[in-house]
Amino acid sequence: KQIFSLTREKKIYINLNETFPCVRLLNATHQIGCQSSLSGDVGVLHLLESEENLDWVLRTGPNPPYMVILESTLFTRPILMKLKNGSSRVAGVLAVQPTSNPPEGFSPHTSCPNENTGVYSETYGPSYAHCNVTMWNPLGTGISYEEFDFPIFSVKDDNDTEVIRRCYMEHNRAVNGSTPQYPLCAMQLMSHMAAVTDTATCMRRNAPTFSLAPDGVCDPLGDANIWASTKPLNSSTKGHKDGVSVVIAATKLDSRSFFFDVAPGADSAATGLVALLAAASALHNATAELNRTILYTFFNGETFDYIGSSRMVYDMAKNDFTVDLDNIHSILEVGQVALGPDSRLWLHSDPVSKRNSSVNVETLVSNLQAAAAGLNLSLGEPNVTQPLPPSSFQRFLLERPIPGVVIENHQTSFTNKYYQSMFDNAEYLKLNYPPNLTPEEQLELVTDSAKALTEVATTVARGLYLQAGGELAQMSRIQADSELVSKMLYTFLVRVNNSWFDQLVKSDWTGVLRNRPTNFYIGVTGQYFSEPALMVQCILANLTGSIANITEGNCQDKKMDKDENMNKDIYSYLWVQGPVRPNSTERDSFCVRSLVRQSKALSPAFELSEYTSKNYSTWAESRWSAIKGRIFLVASHDLEMLTLGVGVGVLLMSLLLTYIVSSKADILFSSGREPTNATY
């Protein structure tokens, strides 16, 4: 019976194989994103050919509600807001991903990212608050932060899209102004969200005494920060470390786009973290001579009101981190650093804290200028009245004035035309490969983009070396590796599953490595570590650690030998697959000992149960039961009513006939009684 049901369903429906939904997120004040009804929303397909064609969907079309197919050129804020305002006639939207990036740019993020959780406010640099001086993301449309009460899915321009277009052309397209005849091609999109209103509401409904759903309705956004020190720091003792001076080298780990599970983050995340990883590798053999400790930090959740950095600052202030704020000497943050045609980077600093004579930013700037000497790039400083761009450094300044610089590829507004969108990808970085190369050959090819980013990584490494106490005369020997940079760019932006990265991970992680770019979305806390966090942890450990000659068992037990107990509080241990042996499928696995650690990237608002906090991120993600889409042919409403009427009529006739037969059963089914005096 079940097999028959599945076969019948396949004859009726065509399922969409690879779709990416817009999902619901919540914060202290409201909800954003999209959702369908509980059983999914159904509408007649309509391919929007131009903005003028909207009238058919919103007013004149005879068969509402419509499931609107939008080509990428029409996926704009004006059109989406018109569909939103006419949502009684709109069942949903299917956006077709283009095969190449739109040349005019596209950013669904806001024009002033993290506007309300940075350092600038009415009490600190009020003239810089709310992007009054610089609109950082001028192409930002803000649609990622709108609420839509219908589902919006994205689909790749491939076989699925061709089937949808053909179904529309054959059944739904009006010819010469005529009305399309039934049956019509329809679509169902299912993405019902469990959470509503805001984070405080959904967290209250998560409570066991309230929740009707045993698994809850939402989860806080969160994951792990990845950090490593150049000198051993005992993680079991928290708070201030006497005699320890720390230079923080920071970058972000995450990005997002309008659609769930599509966050390539090429310039907004990948260029910065690749440059910092390459810098850490270049400094690996030079840190022993430094009198300050470099703390490489990869903050997660920065897209959503600085989740990772605000948590680390919170822990430091509470003496619940390996070092405290007093240990921090200075901060260098690596932001969007894809070089443009002018090969120029900009050193941003805070104009407010620089007025404090104790905040010595000039030394850090001069060290970076010296570091760039002789390289194929130049460094500049913006106008003295220019505030900091959106950056993790701002969360440290909220606690106290600290010398710091944010290195970016823009002087004022972002040069990234695709900030926090699906188009911030390898194509945008011009990470191009000849079409005849195999994946392995692509991995080995050192691209021009990799060579340019290697210059950035070398500048960062040398700047950190000088800032941490290194000698200028010894600086030139520090050089980032262009082959390493190229492999990391390929891994993050083209294909996670490759022979280079396979060597660096644990064997039980290989099953999750996929043949696609990294998804830089942070995800929710408590389920699993995000993909970029795991990748950075493995890469950083292999680049800055050493091989420990111990067994797999001891490696997994995090100790060098049976008598060593305290070592695990200083070092971390990772048993990695290693390279494949020649002419074999077996690998030479080994144990990596490093100073790489994880710390929580969960907003303090959830630790404090302050779900309406204005100081910390309160973002949560709704839960859902099913995400899917399918197309099918639908009959006219009149025919459906006629079919229903005939069915009801047959039912009533059957009931009447059953009643009549039942009431006359003794007559209809009697065999005739024999006389009582009958003899045999």
User: pLDDT grade, residue 104 (50/70/90)?
Assistant: very high
Would you say 191 and 624 are in contact if contact means Cβ atoms under 8 Å apart?
yes
Q: Domain of 270: which CATH number?
A: 3.40.630.10
pLDDT at 5 over 50: no
Long-range Cβ contacts of 508-515 (<8 Å, 24+ apart): 509/534, 509/538, 510/577
Query: CA 232 to CA 241: how far, in whole Å?
Result: 12
Residue 466 within any structural domain of the chain: yes
Contacts of 214 (CB under 8 A, 6+ apart): none
* Residues 189 and 247 reside in one and the same domain: no
Q: What is the mean pLDDT of residues 657-669?
A: 82
Residue keyed to tokens 């807001």: 81
* Residues 182 and 315 reside in one and the same domain: no
pLDDT digits (tens, 9 = 90+) for 290-307: 999 999 999 999 999 999
pLDDT at 481 over 80: yes
Q: What is the mean pLDDT of residues 240-257?
A: 97
Query: CA 141 to CA 194: how far, in whole Å?
Result: 27
Q: How far is CA 251 from CA 300, 316, 388, in A?
A: 9, 18, 15
Would you say 284 and 543 are in contact if contact means Cβ atoms under 8 Å apart?
yes
Query: CA 143 to CA 95: how far, in whole Å?
Result: 14
| Token pair of 662 as six digits | 């039942």
Q: Which residues pair with 546 in a beta bridge?
A: 593
Three-state helix/strand/coil letters over 37-77:
CCCCEEEEEEEECCHHHHHHHHHHCCCCCEEEEECHHHCCH
| CA angle centred on 213, ends 212 and 215, rounded to 5° | 145
Closest CA to 47 of 33, 61, 27: 61
Backbone φ, ψ for residue 407 (5° rounding): -95, 125
Would you say 246 and 297 are in contact if contact means Cβ atoms under 8 Å apart?
no
| Token pair of 619 as six digits | 């973002």
Query: CA 336 to CA 271: how far, in whole Å?
Result: 6
pLDDT at residue 561 in the model: 61
Q: What is the mean pLDDT of residues 124-130?
A: 96
* Residues 182 and 276 reside in one and the same domain: no
Query: CA 581 to CA 73: how far, in whole Å?
Result: 50
Distance of CA 57 to the CA centre of its chain: 32
pLDDT at residue 677 in the model: 57
| Token pair of 125 as six digits | 């640099």
Q: What is the mean pLDDT of residues 259-275?
A: 97
Q: What is the mean pLDDT of residues 642-652?
A: 89
Query: CA 44 to CA 637: how far, in whole Å?
Result: 12
Query: CA 36 to CA 29: how far, in whole Å?
Result: 22
pLDDT at residue 121 in the model: 96
pLDDT at 452 over 80: yes
Q: How far is CA 11 from CA 6, 15, 634, in A?
A: 9, 11, 13
Lowest mean pLDDT among 155-159, 322-326, 589-593: 155-159
First to last CA, the chain: 55
* Residues 243 and 384 reside in one and the same domain: yes
User: pLDDT grade, residue 512 (50/70/90)?
Assistant: confident
* Residues 393 and 493 reside in one and the same domain: yes
User: pLDDT grade, residue 527 (50/70/90)?
Assistant: low
Counting the structural domains of the chain, the total is 2
pLDDT at 676 over 60: no
* Residues 319 and 380 reside in one and the same domain: yes
Residue 373 within any structural domain of the chain: yes
Q: What is the mean pLDDT of residues 39-66?
A: 93
pLDDT at residue 663 in the model: 84
pLDDT at residue 593 in the model: 94
* Residues 361 and 442 reside in one and the same domain: yes
In the chain, % of residues over pLDDT 70: 94
In the chain, % of residues over pLDDT 90: 79
pLDDT at residue 208 in the model: 76
| Token pair of 33 as six digits | 């994103």
* Residues 12 and 67 reside in one and the same domain: yes
Query: CA 169 to CA 45: how far, in whole Å?
Result: 10
Q: Domain of 180: which CATH number?
A: 3.50.30
| Average model confidence (pLDDT) across the chain | 92
Residue 443 within any structural domain of the chain: yes
pLDDT at 410 over 70: yes
Q: What is the mean pLDDT of residues 395-414?
A: 97
Residue 392 within any structural domain of the chain: yes
* Residues 181 and 276 reside in one and the same domain: no
* DSSP string for 221-232: BEEEEEEEESS-
pLDDT at 422 over 80: yes
pLDDT at residue 6 in the model: 47
| Single-letter code of the amino acid located at 138 | P
* Residues 177 and 233 reside in one and the same domain: no
Residue 561 within any structural domain of the chain: no
Contacts of 101 (CB under 8 A, 6+ apart): 418, 423, 425, 427, 428
* Strands 404-408, 328-334: pairing kind: parallel
Which position has the higher pLDDT, 565 or 409? 409
Q: Which residues pair with 220 in a beta bridge?
A: 620
* Residues 398 and 285 reside in one and the same domain: yes
User: pLDDT grade, residue 502 (50/70/90)?
Assistant: very high
pLDDT at residue 562 in the model: 58
Half-sphere exposure in the Cβ direction for 292 (13 Å, CA): 21
pLDDT digits (tens, 9 = 90+) for 615-628: 999 999 999 989 99
Contacts of 203 (CB under 8 A, 6+ apart): 218, 606, 609, 611, 620
* Residues 187 and 232 reside in one and the same domain: no
* Strands 184-190, 628-634: pairing kind: antiparallel
Q: What is the mean pLDDT of residues 31-50?
A: 95
Query: CA 384 to CA 490: how far, in whole Å?
Result: 38
Q: 60 is in which domain, residue-wise?
A: 1-106+141-194+626-638
pLDDT at 354 over 60: yes
pLDDT at 222 over 70: yes
pLDDT at residue 3 in the model: 44
pLDDT at residue 8 in the model: 60
Residue 66 within any structural domain of the chain: yes
pLDDT at residue 680 in the model: 43
User: pLDDT grade, residue 380 (50/70/90)?
Assistant: very high
pLDDT at residue 214 in the model: 62
Residue 153 within any structural domain of the chain: yes
Would you say 592 and 576 are in contact if contact means Cβ atoms under 8 Å apart?
yes
pLDDT at residue 70 in the model: 96
* DSSP string for 142-165: -GGGSEESS-EEEEETTHHHHHHH
pLDDT at residue 674 in the model: 54
Q: Which residues pair with 599 in a beta bridge?
A: 225
User: pLDDT grade, residue 665 (50/70/90)?
Assistant: confident
Residue 209 within any structural domain of the chain: no
pLDDT at 442 over 90: yes
| Token pair of 167 as six digits | 């179904």
User: pLDDT grade, residue 1 (50/70/90)?
Assistant: very low
